[in-house]
Amino acid sequence: MKNIMVTGNLGYIGLVLTDRLASKGYNVIGYDIGYYEGCEIERFVSRVSRQIRKDIREVDSADLKDVDAIVHLAALSNDPLGEFDPNLTDQINRDGTIRLAELAKARGVQRFIYSSSQSMYGIAKSDEELDEDRSEKNPITAYARTKWEAECGLKELGTNDFLTVCLRPSTVFGVSPRLRCDIVFNNLVACAYTKGRIEVKSDGTPWRPVVHIQDVCSAYIAGLEAPAAIVAGRSFNVGIKNGNYTVRELAEAAGQAVPGSSVVFTGEHGKDSRTYKVGFTRILTELRDYYKPEWDLRKGGRELVELFKRINFTEDMFQGRSCNRLLQLKHLIKEKYIDQSLKLVK
């Protein structure tokens, strides 16, 4: 496989993945509607051989010419965006994914790597680490539900000639030219850096799995390069050894990354019911020759602070639309760049 299409290549993860793939000698074809163009906090050089600027709902067979494999990142990307309009989430995250896969299969694309989500597990009913197959799926948001439904549809489409792999990343953190601060660890470090204080309104006890953006990209590449016998038709939780942290641990790690900052637990929201631990045995053992994570909270926290110093990161940048996806979409609607269905205004 030489020609890799990355959908959502202009987003937070997509820019980093595109760079990694190009560095490995792949020919990258980008597919992105461009919602977040102009949101970069650092300059970057595009490394795609061809850029398609289209809504994923409008993909056609011609777009997939000469594509050997697809890494499908494009989606309404978290729970708040998913609740923007649940019908849109169905159209983009589920229906758009299945339609893309059907076209890819018909076109002779060999592999389809799907960026799924651990949010499909919902609220865990025990302290046991969640397993890809045996653990109950209990999606409680439109985003989580559509990710699970898309996985089910993709597995039905999979054949020996059209290999599907579903990767379920932990909550991502780390540096990208199009940084997101609406995800937990990035948010905590940015808060410590710009305000000098992290205020946690829960009691800090809920568990959250997190993983660095570079390690997530390594997982997608593993999905492309591992033998079919290991990955075909399977799902993998993406994370690191001991990769589950309490909110307290995440906040304290963020505070340690910013010397002089403080961490305060107010507890005013009480105990957060959204707590879960995820197991990573499958990816760390069965894909050990292809997926070798290298990042932890301390290293990732230092990296974020180095970025903030380099670009003179401010509280306005932290709170602004460049780093917060829902604010950017609302801005695009207000300025009539997109309509209420999130389609580009012609």
pTM of the model: 0.96
Written as six digits, the tokens of 202 are: 């829960």
Give residue 86's pLDDT. 73
Q: Where are the domains of the chain?
A: 3-176+209-239+276-295+323-334
Superfamily of domain 3-176+209-239+276-295+323-334: NAD(P)-binding Rossmann-like Domain (3.40.50.720)
| Gap between the Cα atoms of 295 and 58, Å rounded | 37
Three-state secondary structure call for residue 244: strand
Three-state secondary structure call for residue 153: helix
Give residue 83's pLDDT. 62
Give residue 79's pLDDT. 59
C-alpha 346, offset from chain centre = 29
Give residue 202's pLDDT. 80
Q: In sequence order, what are the residues at sequence separation of 6 or more whose Cβ sits closer than 8 angstroms to the Cβ of residue 85?
A: 340
96 contacts 246 by C-beta, under 8 angstroms:
no
100 contacts 56 by C-beta, under 8 angstroms:
yes
* pLDDT values of the chain reduced to their tens digit, one per residue, 346 residues: 899 999 999 999 999 999 999 999 999 999 999 999 999 999 999 999 999 999 999 999 999 999 999 999 999 876 566 666 778 999 999 999 999 999 999 999 999 999 999 999 988 777 789 999 999 998 888 889 999 999 999 999 999 999 999 999 999 999 999 999 999 999 999 999 999 999 998 888 889 999 999 999 999 999 999 999 999 999 999 999 999 999 999 999 999 999 999 999 877 655 666 788 999 999 999 999 999 999 999 999 999 999 999 999 999 999 999 999 999 999 999 999 999 899 999 6
Give residue 1's pLDDT. 80
